[in-house]
Amino acid sequence: MSKNRQELCRTARQAVEGDLLLGGQIMAGGQNPLPARKGGKKGGEPATGGPAAHAPAGSFATPDYSAEEFANLAPPQKAQALNRLDESEVRGCVKCVLSKGRTQTVFGEGEPSARIAFVGEGPGEDEDRTGRPFVGKAGQLLTKMILAMGISRESVYICNMVKCRPPGNRTPLPDEVQACWSYLVRQLAIIRPEVVVTLGNPATQGLLGTKEGITKIRGQWRQLPDIGCGLAGTPVMPTFHPSYVLRQYTPDVRGKVWDDLQKVMDRLGMPKSNPGR
């Protein structure tokens, strides 16, 4: 198959994926690499409309790591640092009760220098079995969401608040999130994403240290509080978890998610998808 034909097939496939996600409202454009990082403050312009970047009440304990430890890492060094964190700490972790019921830990995957990081709440049955994040039905929808943005799943980073599956896929308890907190903070510190997309209530409330629900704050730019490692002020876009979208698979819900993703695209200077039928 010629290179041009392969590119046409890939573009057509992404158009179909975007159309399925968005209920036929918008057809996704072809896959494009994310624009290069801009100089200055991560995420381009400062986040607007969000709270000041200070730790709010109820946030988890800040890990005792300095920002300098993770600053100015080259992409190969970032990959090595993530692998070390996974292999030397996460895989053998027994800090909380979730370790007793797991098949394996689910660290995260994607581009170590990703400009976008998607953060969910915890692994499900399929993730516990495979050791990879978001590979079940919700993960398949997340992949379609990413493709609808005109980029590949491999170009972003995907992880969860906790690295072991909660029983029955229940919401992680505060002590379980606290046990994994330093892992998550260091993952984000190594990657240094320009935007964090939080998926659902647990990830949004946990990372932002807020009690506001996802229905109220989705689509509004917020900032990471001072969770350590120099991450304060990182722009955050809260949106619905893909599992919620599957349960409430209406044009309204899908349209809201697409609006949220388009705000991320605008912020990063990504080309917008063309209107469909």
CATH number of the domain to which 58 belongs:
3.40.470.10
Q: How far apart are CA 193 and CA 11, in angstroms?
A: 26
Higher pLDDT, 123 or 26: 123
Tell me the per-residue pLDDT of 200-242, one tens digit each, with 9 for 90 and over.
Answer: 999 999 999 999 999 999 999 999 999 999 999 999 999 999 9
pLDDT of residue 64: 63
Structural domain tally of the chain? 1
pLDDT of residue 277: 31
pLDDT surpassing 80 at residue 151: yes
CB-based contacts of 77, cutoff 8 Å, min separation 6:
none
Q: Which domain holds residue 203?
A: 35-267
Tell me the per-residue pLDDT of 23-76, one tens digit each, with 9 for 90 and over.
Answer: 544 334 445 566 666 544 443 333 444 443 333 434 566 666 767 778 889 999
Point out the least confidently predicted range of 217-221, 256-260, 268-272.
268-272
Q: How far apart are CA 106 and CA 34, in angstroms?
A: 26
Which amino acid appears at position 86 of this protein? D
Q: Is residue 6 part of a domain?
A: no
Q: Is residue 203 part of a domain?
A: yes
pLDDT of residue 27: 37
Average pLDDT, the chain: 84
Q: Is residue 167 part of a domain?
A: yes
Indicate the pLDDT class of residue 198, thresholds 50, 70 and 90: very high
| Phi and psi angles of residue 50, each rounded to the nearest 5 degrees, phi first | -100, 170
Tell me the per-residue pLDDT of 68-101, one tens digit each, with 9 for 90 and over.
Answer: 778 889 999 999 999 999 999 999 999 999 999 9
Higher pLDDT, 86 or 276: 86
User: Please, where are the H alpha helices in the chain?
Assistant: 3-21, 75-85, 125-130, 137-148, 174-191, 201-208, 214-217, 242-247, 251-267
| Phi and psi angles of residue 63, each rounded to the nearest 5 degrees, phi first | -65, 150
For the chain, the first-to-last Cα distance in angstroms comes to: 29
Q: Is residue 273 part of a domain?
A: no
Tell me the per-residue pLDDT of 152-190, one tens digit each, with 9 for 90 and over.
Answer: 999 999 999 999 999 999 999 999 999 999 999 999 999
Q: Are 267 and 48 in contact (CB under 8 A)?
A: no
Q: Is residue 13 part of a domain?
A: no
- Segment 249-273 mean pLDDT: 95
pLDDT of residue 70: 82
pLDDT of residue 71: 82
Q: Is residue 27 part of a domain?
A: no
- Segment 240-258 mean pLDDT: 97
CB-based contacts of 170, cutoff 8 Å, min separation 6:
none
